[in-house]
Amino acid sequence: MVTRNQLERLRPEADRGAGQQIPGYQVLRKLGAGAMATVYKAKQISLDRMVAIKVLPQKFTKSEDFVQRFYAEGRAAAKLNHPNIVQAFDVANAGPYHYFVMEFVDGRTVFDDIVAKGRYDEHDALKVAIDVTEALAHAHSQGFIHRDVKPKNIMIDDHSGRTKLADMGLARAISDREAAEAEAGKAYGTPYYISPEQIRGEVNVDFRADIYSLGATLYHMVTGKVPFDGANPSAVMRKHLNEQIVPPDHINPNLVSGVAEVIEVCMAKSPDQRYNSTGDLLADLQAIDRGEPPLQARRVFDVNSLSDLERGGGLASAAADGLGAEGARGPDGTLMMWLAVIGWVTALGVLLMLFGVLVTG
């Protein structure tokens, strides 16, 4: 028999677990545990600094696939060096334990903030989105896609206020065709934020999947709600594939129109209707933060409208497509398409009046 007080005294020893077996580190406490790993706060003795150590659970060490994926995460993170990405220090094994040493961020996640306070203030949400977009731009420039951008993977340092993108567990080199083909037909990602092409298990998933997930994350931040909800993950993913989002400024009417426009372009069902680059998204977010309109989002909208016309749908068809399932709204969250129709009708009326004057004259 063990008393409650004895259990409490033993808890720190139990939390050390595998961490005690990692040479060169003094494990201080467990930070958290998920299905795929346990993370500890530790002190790197040689450099006298705090680090986080992610340890692969023993039940997965017999699976070559899990072990390789664990090391791939470490190698991917090690190739990225950016102030808005959690830095990787080492990935190795000590006896039966496989571990990944990374920068320790003393703070909380965006998800923690949403749970504690509800939706984000628009200015604060923009700051986080800008920082994450800069992190993604760096990763994309190095040939990597994250594939799991979500509030739980975005950390806020309590001391510096800096945003850090974490968890490269699903990251993949865009050029890794072999890995892409091996994963074909399988949905990798988190259901609330996953892109349609990831759900379908497409081979040619690129940076635009990250843009979609960031748009879904920003949606959650400024509305306090996920873009799509359902009874189970399959139901949520079907909505990502088939349903249009409720415009974010319908849920939070205090949003400036530019934020809604950016989110809706990010979350377009087709990758071709999203931003052409992470840099374009960054430019729009920075413009909104300065109080300016998101010109890149509006350019994407204009191009898509012209494409609709070229496909033979005509002006009325393009207008109807722009309205979407939520009523008289285009992708930018405005009544622009109706105004365009009214403008054309008015112009046609003026021309007919002029023609009538000329004829009678």
| Contact between residue 114 and residue 120 where contact means Cβ atoms under 8 Å apart | yes
Catalytic residues: 148
Is the predicted pLDDT of residue 287 greater than 80, yes or no?
yes
- Quote the pTM value: 0.75
**What pLDDT score was predicted for residue 16?**
45
Least confident interval from 110-114, 266-270, 313-317: 313-317
- The residue written with tokens 């413009």 in the block is 287
- 269 among annotated binding-site residues: no
| Contact between residue 228 and residue 200 where contact means Cβ atoms under 8 Å apart | no
**What pLDDT score was predicted for residue 140?**
93
Higher pLDDT, 74 or 120: 120
At residue 62 the predicted structure's pLDDT band, cuts being 50, 70 and 90, is: confident
Select, from the ranges 155-169, 238-252, 297-311, the one with the highest average predicted confidence (pLDDT).
238-252
| Contact between residue 150 and residue 217 where contact means Cβ atoms under 8 Å apart | yes
Name the residue among 281, 109, 289 with its Cα closest to residue 211.
281
**Rounded mean pLDDT of the chain?**
79
Angle at 230 between CA 224 and CA 236, to 5 degrees: 90
Domains of the chain: 4-103 (3.30.200.20), 107-312 (1.10.510.10)
**What pLDDT score was predicted for residue 225?**
96
Six-digit token pair at 188?
A: 């990798």
Least confident interval from 41-45, 52-56, 275-279, 348-352: 348-352
**What pLDDT score was predicted for residue 63?**
78
**What pLDDT score was predicted for residue 187?**
59
Q: Bridge-partner residues for 156, per DSSP?
A: 108, 163
Q: Bridge-partner residues for 102, per DSSP?
A: 52, 88
